[in-house]
Amino acid sequence: MVNKLIHKYCEGNEALEQILLKHSTDVARRALKIAKAHPELETDETFLWEAAMLHDIGIVRVDAPSIYCYGTEPYIRHGLLGGEILRSEGLPRHARVAERHTGTGLTAAEIVRQNLPLPHQDLTPESIEEQIVCYADKFYSKSHLDIEKTPEQAMRSLEKFGSDGVAVFKAWMERFE
């Protein structure tokens, strides 16, 4: 199901499909490793894998030529767009993961303060699966597929958005590692 959806929405763009598959597989593997190391979290591992594989499906609609995305939307909207795609496919739980994985999640106040082209609503991860995918995603880039970030590098990439996201990441690191 996952690979079919990725293939469907990449619409013959093989370079984008390969980037999306590599990045998402790395995120899914890390997410599943966390779930297996922490049975007390009672994670739905099947859903976690699927959601991690589909969390970035919205990039197919953004304008990011460096990663072979030739859509019209700004990159910051890729989570929201992914949510729309996944809801249209009958996957509302997966959609929530896609919508809530940007940074360490975005609050309505952050969206307003930064004047982001997103709805003025809370887009922070709530379920354990949403949190794990969001955390795991911070270790991998779609533009540098061969590099796994260290926790320090992941935190540095979050610092430019403020200390709140770094604090959330640190709390997840203590919980998941």
Is residue 146 within a helix (H) or strand (E), and if so which, with residue range?
none
Q: What is the CATH number of the domain that holds 124?
A: 1.10.3210
The model carries a pTM of 0.97
For the chain, how many structural domains are there in total?
Answer: 1
pLDDT in tens, 62-91: 999 999 999 999 999 999 999 999 999 999
DSSP state of 69: E
pLDDT in tens, 112-136: 999 999 999 999 999 999 999 999 9
Is residue 167 within a helix (H) or strand (E), and if so which, with residue range?
helix 163-176
Residue 148 corresponds to which tokens in the numbers above?
A: 């796994």
* Structural domain for 57, as ranges: 2-176
Q: Are 51 and 27 in contact (CB under 8 A)?
A: no
| Phi, psi for 82 (deg, rounded to 5) | -60, -40
